[in-house]
Amino acid sequence: MIHLSPNLTQFRHSGRWFKTDSGSLIASWASASISFIITSSSLSISLGPETDRKYSLWGNATTLVCSLSDPSGPPQILTFSDIEPGVLHLFDRLKDGQQKLVEITLVLWSSVIELVSINVDTVGDQFPRTSACRRRAITS
């Protein structure tokens, strides 16, 4: 698995994100999102210790939404209710090889996510390929 820093210029941030000293990003406002294009067949995100699903009036409310779009059809919408620090697997085994637009959005108003890395199995042309760039792009 390749761990990409969420601070790379290939990732588009929307809404309120705060960069920590360690390089992770924290969002605590609903509608904060990060979007990017990938060709990877699997995707997960590493969530840091500040990640917290706070109080919800309705019990098991959706916290994160992941939209996955490609030119061949309608977007696929994935929802996640219980988030906690660690690795959250968003999808696995998409083998079509097409580029996909991914948008991950915080939707629960009372929660916080700390995004440490975006984890893929392969990187396409949109990410650096030289070893010097790769060291900067990939977090350990």
pLDDT score recorded for residue 66: 94
Which residue segment(s) compose the domain that 19 sits in? 2-137
Along the chain (140 residues), what's the average pLDDT of each consecutive run of 10 residues?
91 94 93 90 93 72 88 84 91 73 90 94 62 36
pLDDT score recorded for residue 137: 41
CATH number at residue 40: 2.60.120.260
pLDDT score recorded for residue 129: 46
Q: Helices (H), strands (E): how many in the chain?
A: 1, 11
Domains: count for the chain: 1
| Torsion of Cα atoms, 7 then 11 then 17 then 22, to 10° | -20
Distance CA(127)–CA(106), nearest Å, equals: 24
pLDDT score recorded for residue 140: 35
**Residue 116's closest CA among 35, 31, 50, 42?**
50
H helices of 3-138, in order, are 131-137
